[in-house]
Structures are given as structure tokens and as C-alpha cells.
């Protein structure tokens, strides 16, 4: 870990050094190089191109994320095994790159990478295209989505450009459009739908068990919600319910990841002042604080139920699930720094890491909908394995063994772990 941190510092210094050289320039999109003998006399700063700077920034982002994942595993029941899992499984770069586009392997830490502009240029020419920000034009699916986004034909309830480390809003919207299509393919398979539902049930039940709560009633209302969603005659009403809340696309990203999970995390990051006053009161014991947090959650849900226009629709089923899990998650994040807090933070981190991964050119392929769907499913499997290992529950192999997609020859078949 010390060597990794030292390398991280070197990369930061390299980026900072270059930034100081160009801070007075109005628009630095490329570095012009001399020709002939002049190339040999160029300094290192003159050699590094704008494309190379983008690669260095991308490398630092991945390094920061790996560092966060390593720190997130500290304090787990078996940290060594989890770190090994992260090292082996979660740093999932694009597979079978010879059929797609090669990931840039220029060693930033090596002095050989700074020898000359001619060598850098020759290296880029030989490699063809790299799997990074400079290779957008080589990603057909993304390129098509980019045109739609630029024309104002892609909409999203909330722009999460900065959170998901996108270059800009257009980049975010283009990737959202691609991700939506990929999830449509994934969830067109009934086995994958069962897998997703089982993952949600097992993870949330394990969190309740960790909080010393009986998950039996929660599991019952959760299954009722899953059964409700399977009935096609409810879909039109569900679509209208969600549209009234700003969710215009009925998709796993828009409904589950964005509307349910991300909004919930944001609410927990900004709890009401009345709850904070109770939680931060040193004269109250934890039992009283937990009861106050739960009462506040139930009060909010009761108020929302009274405003529902469809008494037995999707939102009603969703609130029934929230009545059981929301107070526990709220107490987990706002309560004492104990094992429940660590578990809730780990759960949140895995969701955020997954979201960042599927918006990252280095983690998934934006060449076709099928390839993107395959990579997203692969990432879900790996994140699920990490969560199951942390929770100490069954790892869903009875479902994982059947998870897969009928993909064309240009994509790899989904691998069961």
C-alpha cells in the first residue's frame, strides 16, 4: 500500500507540474511539437500532449477509486480475502480488447514514457485507439447517443455529471441513453430479473439482521412488490405514477439506481434539523435516539401516503417496503459509528462504485448495446459478491450460475464466477 501511495503522489506531482505550465493559456487542447532535431531538444513539458494529460487524469481517477475501495474493506470480517477479491474482480477493465479497442498501457510512472515525442506518437499510431476519453469516435453506441444528446433528445430527471465523473452534461446524458438500452437487454431475461430481485431481498434482509431486526415482515412486503411488478396490467398506471414524480423512463437506472437509491442517499446526507438535534444530543441514550429516528421516518411516510392518488399502486408497495427498511438505514447512517454504520457505508459505497464503473470507458464497452449489457451484468455480479462476502450471506451462486446473455460474436459470453 505504501508503494501504491508513493506512485499516486508521483502521478499527482506530474499532473500538477504540467498544469502550472498551462494555467495562463486560454485554451490548451494540444501541445505543438517541433520537427527533426528540434524534437530531441524539447523538454518533458513540451512533449506531454493534451491527450496524454487526459490519460493521466483518468489514471488518477481510477487510482483514487481503488484507494477508496481498499479503505472501504478495512474492518471487514475477513479484510484480506475482500482485498484480494477487489484486486482480482472489481478492477474490471474491458475484456477481449483485441476485438474492441486496446486499453492504454503507457506506463506513467516509467521514465521510458517520457523519452521523446516521436516515441509517444509512434506508440499511439501502433496501438490504433486507446480505451479512454480520446477514443469516443471509436465507440459507435456512444457516438450515436452523443448526437442525440447534443440535439436535446435525451432527458434525465437529475444530472449527476460530477458525481459520476463525466466530462460534461452531454457526456452524462449520452451515457445514460446507452445504459438505459443495456438494462433493457439485461432485464429482458427472466433469470436476470429474478437475480436482481433476489440480490435486493438478500442485501436488505442482511442489513436488517445486522440491526437486530426480524426481516420476515419486510421480506413479505418485498415479495408483494415484486409480484405486483410482474403483472403487466399494472405497468401503465406505474408509469403514470412515476412520471408524476419526474421519472419519465421506466428503466432500472432511472427507477432503482437514480430515483430510489441515489435520492435516498441524498436524503440521508441532508436529514431534517430536528433529527440531527436528537441524534447529536449527548444526554439522550442510543435507544431513545433510534426510536426518534424511526418515528420521524414513519411520520414522513404516513404524510406521503396521504398524498398518494393511487392507493394500491407501485408507490404504495414501495412505501410499504420503506416502512421496514428506511428507519434502519437512517439509524445506520446517522447513529453511532458501529458495525451497522460500517455496513451501511459499505453498501452505499458499492452502489456508488458500481454507478461510476458503468459510466467509465475503462470499465465497460460503449461499442454496442450487447457489449455494454454484458459488462454491466459482469460488474453487478462482482459487486454482489463483495456485498455477500461482507455480509457473510449466501453468494447467490444458485442464480449466478444461470446469469447470462445471448450475445453476438463480437462480445464475450457472460462468465459465471
Per-residue pLDDT band at 17 (split at 50, 70, 90) = low
Q: How many CA atoms lie less than 13 Å away from 175 in the CB half-sphere?
A: 25
pLDDT higher for 288 or 75? 288
Is residue 76 pLDDT above 70, yes or no?
A: no
Q: pLDDT tens digit string along 216-236?
A: 999 999 999 999 999 999 999
Q: pLDDT tens digit string along 239-251?
A: 999 999 999 999 9
Amino acid at each position: 500500500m505504501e508503494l501504491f501511495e508513493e506512485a499516486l503522489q508521483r502521478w499527482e506531482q506530474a499532473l500538477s507540474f504540467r498544469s502550472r505550465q498551462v494555467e495562463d493559456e486560454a485554451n490548451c487542447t494540444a501541445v505543438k511539437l517541433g520537427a527533426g532535431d528540434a524534437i530531441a531538444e524539447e523538454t518533458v513539458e513540451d512533449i506531454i500532449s493534451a491527450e496524454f494529460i487526459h490519460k493521466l487524469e483518468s489514471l488518477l481517477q481510477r487510482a483514487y477509486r481503488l484507494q477508496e475501495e481498499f479503505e472501504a474493506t478495512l474492518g471487514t470480517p475477513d479484510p484480506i480475502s475482500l482485498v484480494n477479491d477487489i484486486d482480482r474482480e472489481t478492477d474490471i477493465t474491458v475484456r477481449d480488447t483485441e476485438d474492441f479497442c486496446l486499453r492504454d498501457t503507457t506506463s506513467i510512472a516509467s521514465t521510458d514514457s517520457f523519452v521523446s515525442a516521436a516515441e509517444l506518437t509512434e506508440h499511439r499510431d501502433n496501438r490504433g485507439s486507446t480505451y479512454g476519453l480520446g477514443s469516443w469516435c471509436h465507440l459507435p453506441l456512444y457516438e450515436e447517443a452523443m448526437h442525440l444528446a447534443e440535439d436535446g433528445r435525451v432527458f434525465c430527471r437529475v444530472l449527476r455529471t460530477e458525481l459520476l465523473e463525466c466530462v460534461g452534461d452531454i457526456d452524462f446524458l449520452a451515457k445514460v441513453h446507452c445504459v438505459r438500452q443495456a438494462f433493457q437487454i439485461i432485464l429482458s431475461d427472466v433469470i436476470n430479473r429474478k437475480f436482481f430481485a433476489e440480490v435486493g431481498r438478500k442485501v436488505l434482509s442482511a442489513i436488517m439482521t445486522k440491526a437486530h431486526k426480524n426481516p420476515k415482515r419486510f421480506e413479505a412486503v418485498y415479495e408483494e412488490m415484486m409480484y405486483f411488478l410482474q403483472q403487466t396490467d399494472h405497468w401503465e398506471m406505474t408509469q403514470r405514477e412515476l412520471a408524476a414524480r419526474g421519472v419519465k423512463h421506466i428503466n432500472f437506472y432511472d427507477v432503482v439506481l437514480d430515483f430510489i437509491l441515489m435520492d435516498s442517499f441524498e436524503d440521508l446526507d441532508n436529514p431534517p434539523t430536528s433529527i440531527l438535534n436528537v441524534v447529536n444530543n449527548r444526554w439522550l441514550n442510543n435507544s431513545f435516539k433510534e426510536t426518534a429516528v424511526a418515528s420521524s421516518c414513519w411520520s414522513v411516510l404516513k404524510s406521503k401516503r396521504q398524498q398518494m392518488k393511487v392507493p394500491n399502486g407501485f408507490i404504495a408497495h414501495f412505501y410499504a417496503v420503506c416502512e421496514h427498511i428506511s428507519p434502519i438505514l437512517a439509524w445506520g447512517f446517522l447513529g453511532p459509528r458501529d458495525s451497522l454504520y460500517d455496513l451501511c457505508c459499505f453498501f452505499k459505497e458499492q452502489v456508488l462504485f458500481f454507478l461510476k464503473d458503468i459510466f467509465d470507458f475503462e470499465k465497460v464497452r460503449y461499442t454496442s448495446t450487447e457489449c455494454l449489457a454484458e459488462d454491466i451484468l459482469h460488474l453487478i455480479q462482482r459487486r454482489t459478491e463483495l456485498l455477500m462476502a461482507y455480509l457473510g450471506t449466501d453468494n447467490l451462486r444458485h442464480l449466478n450460475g444461470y446469469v447470462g446473455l445471448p450475445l453476438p460474436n463480437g462480445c464475450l459470453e457472460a462468465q459465471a464466477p
